[in-house]
Structure 1
């Protein structure tokens, strides 16, 4: 492993630029730890201090990596920097089948970590998994053919997920939740942003589960069984108080079988179930066709534990060619849900367009 003391910033930038063709900007009192294929990413991460960058050269790395130091950046040089499983590796991240883990504790979130510009593929769990983080940024990451989630975050705040590609993962391409191991009310993400991502061929493109105060915007979702799921239940506070806007959601017509938690999926654009005070606006939703109870362009659906969706606003969306309808409200006992100003051809029940 090569280390460059960035007090000599111009010299370091010239060396890294000569090797890789480009170098990320680094402050004068920080260090860059450069890792080449065959060397240990984990060793470089463990040596890094807050503010440091671990820079991965193009090539394939076979290991799982755990980050619990605040303020570090783990970055590759684009899709040609590939992280794959090492089936013989020990440690909690590897044993859970995950590729890159960013893990805080219940007492202390790990703050300000960035994961960027690399590919994670072939893990039985998640490509990138984060828990107990504050201000995590995941950008320009390609998560492909992982067994559960492409990129996942639980019990975290102030997250930024931008310009990632999640394709052909077993469950959600992007999965954000309060926690999956215990019953709890929806958590406030304090403004997490999911934007400009591409989600293709997953079971669900983006799942937002038991969360509040979050924006899902300007994403492109196609070829999944379902595009966007906003999921709540009977716990308090309720899921919702979030925005789903300006997304392109087209032809999410892959067929996925029923699971213990969810009915069979096909042809779902945006589904709200057990959510409240959610704004769905400015989305373009086309060609999502299926025969599932959850099929349709924008679907309000009573949660599987019987919790209604309430005070959600569906406004200013453009919908075309979705079936059984562009707008579907099966949650007719939910109070205060409104459908206004949408451009669409058909609805169930009639009169929502």
Structure 2
């Protein structure tokens, strides 16, 4: 190698090293904000910038928390170790003044119509006893909720609206007043179904709620490998007369069993008991490879897998029910209540269907 070549090689190496070095300050800029018992989680969140992590020590924290900055991670020390409950005694003035707290929620991830909150992660903590929702998200993109227990809240355990690409994984939602896990297009307007851009709800446990999971007016979403038991109804996939219609939903590999709790009727729904997987007003969806057993009741939507009559006269159409084990459910393992066209039932293991002939 000539001296000139050596000089050129040294220059290239210096340039590469300079480029690598330029990335280091950005990585080094990530800050970890530690919150100990007696300190405010909200104050730490307010000081966080995109990419920062807020870690919460073991203990019980009495406050609500509102995350409005993209790229923030809120991480507890583990479910049952870091517990967030309502502040009923000595409320932090900033926390109690937030819209999140005033609405009765625990942790909120809050975007606006002009700017979504993106890539937020909430994990490894317990939310308990809030008047409305343990964790509520609106106008988010890429929210991840993992290893969160949300229990004994007045309405929903974990809820989200107007959001895309969400991931809800390895959570436990228990004994909440309505749905353990609720995802929908919007809660305050009549609109067509929202394309979630492949949101995922997987490996969650839903127990003792009115409804384990409600998916309302959404498209392009996967519900896979969850367990639902002890609820009045396990899973509701819900549409109505608005367009675009809900659809392209994938319900795969879930274990749905013994959802036989009794829940009285409401202004929106008849009484519930013994419902497994219920589709109402949904199109082009796939219910495949689920194990659905021992969901027993005599309510209007009781049964294993039910294509239910929709109260807004929206039909179930072109849905595929395939390769499920659906046994010991009452009033039937497979039930079709409406006159929607193109629904197919194939290779299911079941004993009783209404109408007959689908097993």
TM-score by length of 1: 0.92
Q: C-alpha separation between the residues in 2 aligned to 1:194 and 1:138?
A: 10
Matches within 5 A, 1:1-353: 28-79=28-79, 80-87=81-88, 88=91, 89-331=96-338, 333-353=339-359
Q: Which runs of 5+ in 2 are unaligned?
A: 1-25
Q: C-alpha separation between the residues in 1 aligned to 2:352 and 2:130?
A: 41
Displacement of 1:27 in angstroms is: 5.0
Q: C-alpha separation between the residues in 1 aligned to 2:257 and 2:114?
A: 42
Q: How many residues align?
A: 327
Name the CA shift for 1:27/1:205 in 2 (closer, same or farther; >3 Å): farther
Displacement of 1:204 in angstroms is: 0.5
Displacement of 1:268 in angstroms is: 0.4
Q: C-alpha separation between the residues in 1 aligned to 2:298 and 2:154?
A: 26
* SS at structure 2 position matched to 1:241: strand
Structure whose CA Rg is larger: 2
Higher-helix-fraction structure: 2
Displacement of 1:302 in angstroms is: 2.1
Displacement of 1:110 in angstroms is: 0.4
- Which has the larger displacement, 86-95 or 180-189? 86-95
Q: Which runs of 5+ in 1 are unaligned?
A: 1-25
Displacement of 1:260 in angstroms is: 0.5
* Aligned-residue CA RMSD (Å): 1.0
Q: C-alpha separation between the residues in 1 aligned to 2:347 and 2:27?
A: 49
Q: C-alpha separation between the residues in 2 aligned to 1:140 and 1:307?
A: 36
Q: C-alpha separation between the residues in 2 aligned to 1:37 and 1:125?
A: 24
Q: Deviation digits for residues 127-149 of structure 1, max 9, x if unmatched?
A: 00000000000000000100000
Displacement of 1:301 in angstroms is: 1.0
